[in-house]
């Protein structure tokens, strides 16, 4: 397998997609709680910003900005390892949980951030899990909509009004 090359950029926000291994059972609420705890623990150690997320049965999305002296691959590895340990412990299983690779996209503009956030939050609706994004408890949507608590605290961004502004 070829090695994927990644641009090491600091001070940027990345849109992340991390997929469950196809051989593993889909995630359920108790697993989502383990994923949230894994991210919380990784954030405490690596000090990255998390500005939005959604957990799905077979993948998760997030906006992540690594700390100044950190790199995205190490941040994602920390999240994957921490969440894998928690989910495996809960399920009484061993071995990898997440696909080795993940997808990342640098977020360049306010418009791209907002469009991607909308895509991410409507993912459970598109997949037929709920009829409205606020009904999916495993996302940051309710925080953005001012409709209640969410399972994982996020960092607030002060975005410029002009959608063409570069981040």
Closest listed residue to residue 121, CA positions, set 41, 60, 45:
60
pLDDT at residue number 11: 77
pLDDT at residue number 10: 58
Q: How far apart are CA 83 and CA 1, in angstroms?
A: 25
Domains by residue range for the chain, with CATH: 13-145 (3.30.70.1290)
pLDDT at residue 60 above 70?
yes
Beta-carbon contacts of residue 67 (< 8 Å; ≥ 6 apart): 46, 47, 48
Placement of tokens 């390892």 in the chain: 81
pLDDT at residue 115 above 90?
yes
pLDDT at residue number 3: 47
pLDDT at residue number 9: 53
Residues 62, 11 contacting (CB under 8 angstroms)? no
pLDDT at residue 78 above 70?
yes
pLDDT digits (tens, 9 = 90+) for 1-39: 444 444 445 579 999 999 999 999 999 999 999 999 999
Torsion of CA 38, 144, 52, 151, to 10 degrees: 10
Using a pLDDT cut of 70, give the percent of the chain over it.
Answer: 94
């Amino acid at each position: 397998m070829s090695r994927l090359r990644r641009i090491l950029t600091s001070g940027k926000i990345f849109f992340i997609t991390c997929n469950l291994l196809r051989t593993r059972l889909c995630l359920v609420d108790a697993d989502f709680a383990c994923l949230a705890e894994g991210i919380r623990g990784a954030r405490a150690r690596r000090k990255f910003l998390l500005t939005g997320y959604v957990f799905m049965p077979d993948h998760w999305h997030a906006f992540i900005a690594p700390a100044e002296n950190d790199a995205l691959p190490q941040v994602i590895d920390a999240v994957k390892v921490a969440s894998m340990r928690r989910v495996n412990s809960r399920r009484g299983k061993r071995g990898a949980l997440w696909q080795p690779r993940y997808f990342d996209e640098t977020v360049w503009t306010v418009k791209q951030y907002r469009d991607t956030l909308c895509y991410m939050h409507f993912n459970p609706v598109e997949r037929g899990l709920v009829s409205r994004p606020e009904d999916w408890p495993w996302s940051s949507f309710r925080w953005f909509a001012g409709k209640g608590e969410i399972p994982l605290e996020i960092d607030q961004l002060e975005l410029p009004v002009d959608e063409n502004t570069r981040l």
